[in-house]
Amino acid sequence: MSNMVDPLVGRIAARIRAERERRGWTLARLAEASGVSRAMINRIERGESSPTAVVLGKLSAAFQLSVASLLALAEGTQPGPVQGPEGEAGVCRRTGAPEWQDPATGYRRRQITGPRFPAEVAEIRLPAGARVPYPAAAFAFVQQVVWVLDGRLTFHDGEEDHELGPGDTLELGDPAPRVFANTTGAECRYAVILARGARP
């Protein structure tokens, strides 16, 4: 794992713990709500285990947050996009942006927008052959668009399947179990855009 990823894993751990404590939940309560074992949650919160994208999906669903929102909250605790005073432009250099990598699939995520921007935009790189499923609850309370930039993305949206190529977009509807899959031999790069909303 690269040096860029390690600090972000620690911030994700702190954010998961903060979200749990903000709700007054015990480890057992979060385990019951998410389907992730208490032991695994404990290791993640202590920074002893890096959560996979699937585990993050289950935890974010329990919190009624999108995975993107949960990661953006974690990324927002450290320098990301360099922003000027309220209302002024900010610059984020590619080399300075935090990047999270899923230890199970190699999926990589980079936050594009800062915490004051009214939408959350992230760039995703999905390796060849990777498949990342999320429960329906991970998509509650958000409006989301998937925009394929390079490669091909197979998107399973509940009972529907969509084959998306460069330039294709998909605006998601009501929450459903979803899978981001790359069935090709080349990396797929896409953007996820979410409208920011009230968090529970």
| Inter-residue contact 16 to 61 (CB < 8 Å) | no
pLDDT of residue 125: 97
Q: pLDDT digits over 113-123, tens only?
A: 876 778 888 89
Please tell us whether the domain made up of 89-195 is placed in CATH 2.60.120.10: yes
Strands 108-111 and 82-83: unpaired
Domain ranges of the chain: 5-75, 89-195
Task: Write out 101-133 in H/E/C secondary structure.
Answer: ECCCCCCEEEECCCCCCCEEEEEEEECCCCEEE
Report the SS3 class of residue 156. Answer: strand
User: From 3.90.740.10, 3.40.50.450, 1.10.260.40, 3.90.870.30, which CATH number describes the 5-75 domain?
Assistant: 1.10.260.40
pLDDT in the model for residue 21: 94
Q: What is the mean pLDDT of the chain?
A: 83
Please give the pLDDT value at position 136.
Answer: 86
What pTM value is reported for the model? 0.76
pLDDT of residue 2: 39
pLDDT digits (tens, 9 = 90+) for 12-48: 888 899 999 999 999 999 999 999 999 999 999 998 8
Q: Do domains 5-75 and 89-195 have the same CATH topology?
A: no
Residue 45 in tokens: 């919160």
